Every structure is written in structure tokens, then in C-alpha cells.
Amino acid sequence: MTTYGSFPGTRPRRLRTSPVMRRMVAETRLHPADFILPAFVREGVAEPVPISSMPGVVQHTRDSLKKAAAEAVAAGISGIMLFGVPEESKKDGAGTAGTDPDGILQVALRDVRAEVGDDLLVMSDLCLDEFTDHGHCGVLDDQGRVDNDATLERYAEMAQVQADAGAHVVGPSGMMDGQIGVIRDALDQIGREDVAILAYTAKYASAFYGPFREAVGSSLQGDRRTYQQDPANLRESMRELELDLEEGADMVMVKPAGPYLDVLAKVADAVDVPVVAYQISGEYAMIEAAAEKGWIDRDKAILESLTGIRRAGARSILTYWATEVAQTLR
């Protein structure tokens, strides 16, 4: 046998020889504190309602939401992001239920705050789409277009009402220009400098939101391409990022996560505020569906998808698996 001296002189495989070696050299780790659970609460239901396109996820009742929040605390995750699903009859053009102190989201915020106190960050989706009868994230002008500045006034009121109801963090997800600045002002005006803003900075008009539309009983016809970003663009995200930071964002988000890891990496390189990624409903549904068919190993695929998102630069991740994964990590 021919020998080649010490060839190959460098052997990267030495650092992959055993589980403990791989664990020591791992550059990315998952920890329960990395996770935030998005949760849906539906008005007027007596039992949790399963979401067929998101096996394992439900529209909560007020009671089952409180239980999910308590489980999230026990699992050691950092936050819960609440989405309200109002009764169909309460939807209107202005999304009035979104600013009603007795609207489902506000009621749920108070319930969850009473349950968890300060042991879990209570976050609220700050957007009108669940509450409007046309399903858009803002109010419409007389031509049926989403009216940016009229929507900002609604967001300002929503921020104040959500803060009053107990949100530690508000998550503006509507992609209106100027939304972060207006919301910061609105919160400061009522003396709520303590409420943080998690800005949906780079939110793309994605086909992967499909299952979410079922989850919130969306009334949307058409799409959100006049306000959410075009999937083709990366530089545009950097512009959105600059604006959100100028306007007072405390944390910035990239959404969806998996198909946008390049955006996430670039944003994470560019800023010193915490960067958050949202692994959305379609990303969840794809893994669950493939696993159900026996085509992939569910648990490994979940951890790999989350590791990839952390590796790309996310400090925190919103994922529908938050509590489950945190439990397995403990």
C-alpha cells in the first residue's frame, strides 16, 4: 500500500467522532429561552377548535389558552404571541373589535397576564386583519386600496388598548409605512415607555401563510402584495430595517424564516438589536404533513429547521413547536 506520509494533514472528521465531541464543538445550540409560542384564541367557543392544516395547533378557548400559557412557563420559553379570532358578526371595515377593550384579543391578554404575571412575555399581534370584514391589515380608502395613514391611526389606538390589557410587547405585523414611529408615540403618550415593540421588519408576501388564514378565519380575498414585501427583494429589507430602527423598534423580525435565511443573516449582521424569526404556519404544516406520510423524521426535521434559523442569526424564534421543543430540550 502506498503511503502519503501524513496526508491528509488536516482531518475535520476528528471533530465529528462522537456525540460528546460533536456537542462540544457545536456552534449553535437551542435553549428553551430562545422560543416564543404563537397562539390563537377564538371568541365564543366552548371547546378548542383544531386547525386542520396545522395538526396539533388549535384555536383556543379562553380557558385552554390559559393552560397553554401555564405550560409555556413550565417549559421555560420566553414568550407567547397572541392572535385574536373574533366572532364573524363582530368584523367590520375598520376592525373595531381590534380596539374594543372587551374585544377577544384584549380579553385574552388580560387572562394570560393574570395567569403568568411576569414569568412569560405576553406579546400581542398588532394588526387589523383578524378584525376586518375584508381581511386586510388596514382600513380601505374609497377605491378599496389599503389606506396607509388612516391605518396608522387605528394602530396607535390598538397599541394603547393592548398595553392597557397587559401586553409586555406589541408586534406590529401590518407593514404600513411609519407604523413603528406612530406606535412608539402612542405608547409614550399614555406613559407606557415600558412596552417594547417587536417590529415585523421584513415581512414577505408569502404563499406559506396559507394555514394561518384558516387559523384566524381570515376574510381576505386577493393578496397583500401592496404592503408586504416582494419575495424577490433583499436590499429592500435593509431599507425597512433602517426605518424601523430610526422609528424606535426594540427588536426586529424576519418572516417567514426558512425560505428567507439569507435575509435573516444579513439583518443579523447589520444590527445590534435582538433579531427574531417567525417560522410560520406553512413551514410548520410542511414538516407535519411530510412526517405524517412517513417521508421524514418529524422530530429531527423540527430541530434541524430551528437550528438552521438560529445559525442564520436569529436570537429568538416564534414557532408553533415552541413548548414541545422546549420540553424535549430540558
Catalogue the active-site residues: 203, 255
Q: Closer to ligand PBG at the Cβ: 82 or 280? A: 280
Q: Closer to ligand PBG at the Cβ: 211 or 313? A: 211
The correct pick among 40, 155, 212, 227 for binding ligand PBG (CB under 6 A) is: 212
Cα–Cα distance, 172 to 178 (Å, whole number): 11
Q: What is the DSSP annotation of 154-204?
A: HHHHHHHHHHHHT-SEEEE-S--TTHHHHHHHHHHHTT-TT-EEEEEEEEB
Number of residues that bind ligand PBG (CB under 6 A): 10
Q: Is 219 annotated as a binding residue?
A: no
Neighbouring C-alpha atoms within 13 Å toward the C-beta of 126:
37
Interface with ligand PBG includes 131 (CB under 6 A)? no
Q: Closer to ligand PBG at the Cβ: 54 or 116? A: 54
Interface with ligand PBG includes 260 (CB under 6 A)? no
Q: Is 281 annotated as a binding residue?
A: yes
Q: Are 169 and 148 in contact (CB under 8 A)?
A: no
- Report how many helices (DSSP H) and strands (DSSP E) the chain contains, helices first: 11, 10
Q: Is 213 annotated as a binding residue?
A: yes
- Tell which positions 161-190 bind ligand PBG, by CB under 6 A: 173
Interface with ligand PBG includes 280 (CB under 6 A)? yes
With a CB cutoff of 8 Å and minimum separation 6, the contacts of 144 are none
Interface with ligand PBG includes 127 (CB under 6 A)? yes
Smallest gap from residue 110 Cβ to ligand PBG (A): 20
Smallest gap from residue 119 Cβ to ligand PBG (A): 24
Q: Are 325 and 45 in contact (CB under 8 A)?
A: no
Q: Is 320 annotated as a binding residue?
A: yes
Residue 243's closest CA among 323, 143, 314, 172?
Answer: 172
Interface with ligand PBG includes 209 (CB under 6 A)? yes
Interface with ligand PBG includes 281 (CB under 6 A)? yes
Q: What is the dihedral of CA 32, 83, 181, 195, to 10 degrees?
A: -50
Q: Are 194 and 149 in contact (CB under 8 A)?
A: no
Interface with ligand PBG includes 129 (CB under 6 A)? yes
Q: Closer to ligand PBG at the Cβ: 35 or 209? A: 209
Smallest gap from residue 127 Cβ to ligand PBG (A): 4
Cα–Cα distance, 263 to 259 (Å, whole number): 9
Cell of 164: 392597557
Stretch of residues binding ligand PBG (CB under 6 A), selected from 14-22, 123-131, 244-252, 293-301: 123-131
Cα–Cα distance, 201 to 245 (Å, whole number): 9
Q: Which helix (H) or strand (E) holds 280?
A: none
Q: Closer to ligand PBG at the Cβ: 212 or 260? A: 212
Smallest gap from residue 25 Cβ to ligand PBG (A): 33
Contacts with ligand PBG by CB under 6 A lie at 125, 127, 129, 137, 173, 209, 212, 224, 280-281
Binding-site residues = 213, 224, 240, 281, 320
